[in-house]
A and B are shown apart, each in its own frame.
Chain A
Amino acid sequence: MKGTEVMNCLLCNTPLNEPVTWKLLLTNHFPKTICTDCENKFKPYENKEKAVTSLYQYNEAMKDYLHRYKFLHDIILAKVFREQIHHHLSKQNAIIVPIPMHPLKLKERTFSPVDELLNEANVPFTHYLEKITTETQGGKSRQQRLNAPQIFRLKNGMDVVGKDFILVDDIYTTGTTIKHGKKVLLDEGAKSVTAFTLIRG
């Protein structure tokens, strides 16, 4: 799939046949990548707090999506939510900071799921953080996660004083990852840090 053209739904492989409308031709939209049936299986998350914004609930369809994207490494699925992510992040003034992966993990996985989501959504971002452990959050209990020592540090030569940040991650479960990232940035003198995740577990 060299070009941007997606012929079949990326999730269920039915032909898309997107009708050509004036709206499609004249406004700036990403072309569709999944069919309406698949789209309807994802349920939007209603945000209650300001500090963390999430787009979708974690349900069966989302579980399946995450499995295919993160574990089967089907990178093209990063395109699925690009419209929504773009809509939400492109107009923000704050600096977008994705939650980083450990370099060894990155080699193993061959791609960074969060970075790819932002790339496909055409959202510019900067890596301010570095991960210092190779452990993953999955497979740990809630208690273990909450008590874990700091897992990030600021990258060398990055200046955060007086700046606004948005941390971006794929899924928010207990909130530990975001909390750790936030702490590093605020301790170094950031003005404000909010968070954005695709999924709320």
Chain B
Amino acid sequence: MRNRLCKVQQKFNYKGIVVEPKIRDFFIGRIWTRNHTPFSQEKIEKYIEHQFFNIKPGISFFRKGFLQRQIYRCNRCHNTNQHEIVHYNCARCEKVCVYCRHCINMGRVTSCTDLLTWNGPSSHYPLSHKLVWEGKYTEAQHEAAQQLQESIKTGRHHLIFAVCGAGKTEILFPAVEFALNQGKRVCIATPRTDVVLELYPRFQKVFPKTNLHALYGSVPVQQGFPQLVITTTHQLYRFENAFDVVIVDEADAFPYTYDRTLQKAVVKAKKEDAPITLVTATPSPQILSRVKREKWGVSFIPRRYHGYPLPVPRYESLWSYDKKIQKGDIPTKLEEWTKARLTNKEPFLIFFPTIRLMHMATSLFQQLDKRIVSVHAEDEERKEKVLKLRKEEVPGLLTTTILERGITIKNIQVAVVGAESKIFTSSALIQISGRVGRNSQFPTGDIVFFHHGITAEMDEARNEIIRLNREGFGEGFK
């Protein structure tokens, strides 16, 4: 009898204490510092004693190259940039320790910090997920959704290349439902917090039976085991070997393309053979060549869901606009454009290359209409201001590239001031142009690049939009 009991216990991985579901659900798939968990330290130590956790040092090193140089690596964010690794005299260990500056905002990780990963029983995965969505697909969307589902079924990486306003999020629904019902853990990651905030309620609505969590910088701890996680790519530093399916939305957005560790974080957060899906309107050449080389599944949608072509940007010269604005004048063409928008009562966005220039221009624009305000990345009222534009409480916004993606406003008109600036890359310009004409009632709109000389990036953006329209509407499209 006793023996049989032991066997049963072994089978269920019994290790001396009964695991609290709260702790189990939190730690599955996560990698967390030992001393900063949301649970009491005594409990955590007890769990460690009973081997419910694997422990590894926060920073380890390996040797590399001819000289066998020591290279440190942060085990949380996998950063190996040695400029971001700092040596210091640690008063706790009384020797020289190192810490990683790259992910220090999430709490410092040093070589004497322990990182915990879960080694206990796994959670129960419910299989009764239901997609509640009554929208209708266009033919292209339907095809893409099928292709994506097929890729996830076979465990193949996939790229969804769809123009701005093609209805990319909806394409994900059936594939996510399929994966969840297979008992898989799904992660939708995106570089932008704004996008997380927009996706979360949408997914919550269409998957009412699923426990899903949204993770971003300062989010409170949420209850239960999330089988579906919507997160910023930064938060993936805190996951390891966790997901069976990873979808990266807006995979071309800053800083994901720029920061190698974020790309590593995605690979680290997924299980080894889990497929990645990239969703983007402007895939970089690197992504495209990888897709080709590694034979990914590809869905290409050159047409918007409402079936109208993408608005093609027009060029308008605005010589020495910065000097004019510095002198306290709005350049004539820009002033006329804004006045036309005001008289037609059309909401508008004006993009500026720098915050400094935007601030100088704000007071000038407020002379045209007092309600015009400006938005930038560190603005605390960013969300409210965009909402005001949506509700037509403000006629227009001045903004930096922060609003280049993820915002959809009916009948919006867009101008880019200083489109020749370095910050407006071709993908940024394509994204900005993609804000216009997203609504089926107002499928067209004005998109102007005000410039001090035309750059290759501008041409590239314009040609790409024309090319996509040709793909979607045949060669006859001018």
A76 to B108, CA, bound (A): 13
Residues of A within 8 A of B110 (CB): 110
B85 contacts A73, C-beta separation under 8 Å? no
B104 contacts A74, C-beta separation under 8 Å? yes
Binds A, one of B87-95, B125-133, B207-215, B418-426: B87-95
Residues of B within 8 A of A1 (CB): 82-87
Interface residues of B in 117-148 (CB under 8 A from A): none
A75 contacts B104, C-beta separation under 8 Å? no
Cβ of A197 within 8 Å of any chain B Cβ, yes or no, is: no
A7 contacts B90, C-beta separation under 8 Å? no
A75 contacts B91, C-beta separation under 8 Å? no
B108 contacts A73, C-beta separation under 8 Å? yes
**Interface 0/1 of A42-83, CB less than 8 Å to B:** 000000000000000000000000001000111110000000
Q: Which residue of B lies closest to A76 (CB)?
A: B86
Number of B residues near A (Cβ < 8 Å) is: 19
B107 contacts A72, C-beta separation under 8 Å? yes
Within 8 Å by CB of A75, from B82, B86, B92, lies B86
Return A113 CB to nearest CB of chain B, in Å: 11
A7 to B87, CA, bound (A): 16
A74 to B91, CA, bound (A): 14
Cβ of B24 within 8 Å of any chain A Cβ, yes or no, is: no
Residues of A within 8 A of B82 (CB): 1-2
B91 contacts A109, C-beta separation under 8 Å? yes
Given A72-B105, A76-B101 in contact, is the A111-B88 Cβ separation under 8 Å? yes
Residues of B within 8 A of A110 (CB): 88, 90-92, 97, 110
A74 to B107, CA, bound (A): 10
B91 contacts A72, C-beta separation under 8 Å? no
Residue among A8, A68, A76, A110 having the largest count of chain B Cβ atoms under 10 Å: A110
A109 to B110, CA, bound (A): 12
Cβ of A140 within 8 Å of any chain B Cβ, yes or no, is: no
Number of A residues near B (Cβ < 8 Å) is: 17
Q: Which residue of B lies closest to A106 (CB)?
A: B91
Interface residues of A in 97-116 (CB under 8 A from B): 106-112
Return B8 CB to nearest CB of chain A, in Å: 44
Cβ of B47 within 8 Å of any chain A Cβ, yes or no, is: no
Residues of B within 8 A of A68 (CB): 104
Residues of A within 8 A of B105 (CB): 72
B104 contacts A72, C-beta separation under 8 Å? yes
Residue among A68, A75, A111 having the largest count of chain B Cβ atoms under 10 Å: A75
Return A11 CB to nearest CB of chain B, in Å: 11
Residues of A within 8 A of B88 (CB): 75-76, 110-111
Given A72-B104, A72-B108, A73-B108 in contact, is the A107-B83 Cβ separation under 8 Å? no
Residues of A within 8 A of B90 (CB): 110-111
A111 contacts B83, C-beta separation under 8 Å? no
Residues of B within 8 A of A112 (CB): 91
Within 8 Å by CB of A73, from B83, B84, B99, lies B99
B87 contacts A2, C-beta separation under 8 Å? yes
B89 contacts A111, C-beta separation under 8 Å? yes
Given A1-B82, A107-B92, A110-B92 in contact, is the A74-B108 Cβ separation under 8 Å? yes
Given A1-B83, A1-B85, A8-B83 in contact, is the A111-B101 Cβ separation under 8 Å? no
Return B289 CB to nearest CB of chain A, in Å: 28
Return B380 CB to nearest CB of chain A, in Å: 12
A189 to B302, CA, bound (A): 84
Residues of A within 8 A of B91 (CB): 106-107, 109-112
Residues of A within 8 A of B86 (CB): 1, 74-76
Residues of A within 8 A of B107 (CB): 72
Q: Which residue of A lies closest to B105 (CB)?
A: A72
A196 to B13, CA, bound (A): 60
Q: Which residue of B lies closest to A108 (CB)?
A: B92
Q: Which residue of A lies closest to B107 (CB)?
A: A72
Q: Which residue of A lies closest to B110 (CB)?
A: A110
A190 to B101, CA, bound (A): 42
A110 to B98, CA, bound (A): 12
A131 to B107, CA, bound (A): 27
A2 to B86, CA, bound (A): 7
A66 to B107, CA, bound (A): 15
**Interface 0/1 of B61-92, CB less than 8 Å to A:** 00000000000000000000011111111111
Return A8 CB to nearest CB of chain B, in Å: 7
A165 to B82, CA, bound (A): 40
Return B198 CB to nearest CB of chain A, in Å: 28
A48 to B86, CA, bound (A): 38
Interface residues of B in 32-66 (CB under 8 A from A): none
Return B93 CB to nearest CB of chain A, in Å: 8
Q: Which residue of A lies closest to B90 (CB)?
A: A110
A111 to B86, CA, bound (A): 13
Residues of B within 8 A of A107 (CB): 91-92
Return B73 CB to nearest CB of chain A, in Å: 15
Return A10 CB to nearest CB of chain B, in Å: 9
Return B275 CB to nearest CB of chain A, in Å: 33
Residues of B within 8 A of A111 (CB): 88-91
Residue among A2, A68, A106, A112 having the largest count of chain B Cβ atoms under 10 Å: A2
Residues of B within 8 A of A2 (CB): 82, 87
New A-B pairs, 10, CB < 8 Å, besides A7-B83, A72-B107: A1-B86, A1-B87, A72-B104, A73-B104, A74-B101, A75-B86, A107-B92, A108-B92, A109-B91, A111-B88
State the B residues within 8 Å of A (CB): 82-92, 97, 99, 101, 104-105, 107-108, 110
5 shortest interchain CB distances as A-B pairs: A75-B88, A76-B86, A73-B108, A110-B92, A106-B91
A-B contact pairs, 7 of them (CB 8 A): A1-B86, A8-B83, A72-B105, A75-B86, A75-B99, A107-B92, A110-B90
